Amino acid sequence: MLDDVAEAGEVRRMSSAAFLKIGAMHGVTVEIEPPLGADGDVPLLVRQGLVIRCMLPRGISAAWLAAALAEGPVAQLVQKVLDGHRLNLTADGGTGQLSRGAELARSRLLETLSAMSPLLPAMAPTRSRRPRKAPLQLAAA
């Protein structure tokens, strides 16, 4: 389970969250990280649009997520986001934008992932686990 993250609440108070990260240069990954950087702002790559982040519900099954990213509606939505992610790279870094279709796919992806939370079995905390050090790499469909 991806439950080694803080309870959902005000983003500025959260110490960590699980994110599905999508980007034309970076592919598709799941990472547990602070929602905000050390400077108190959204990470630069997200601000610039080079990485699209979707917060995952606490307790979502890593096995379910891997299967959902391999095939089915979630995988199709992720692919639409990737297909519509346009980059404008410059010497200073660059920016990224989503096409209208990719923006709609991202919205539906967020709704779909959020809807998964109530369907998950109720999990009583058993013991504290340490957050992953390395990102979980998942192949996009």
Percentage of the chain lying above the pLDDT 90 cut? 54
User: What pLDDT score was predicted for residue 120?
Assistant: 45
Residue 138 is predicted with a pLDDT of 53
pTM higher than the cut 0.75: no
Residue 11's pLDDT is 53
- pLDDT at position 13 is 65
More confident residue, 23 or 3: 23
Between 57 and 107, the higher pLDDT residue: 107
CB atoms within 10 A of CB 107: 12
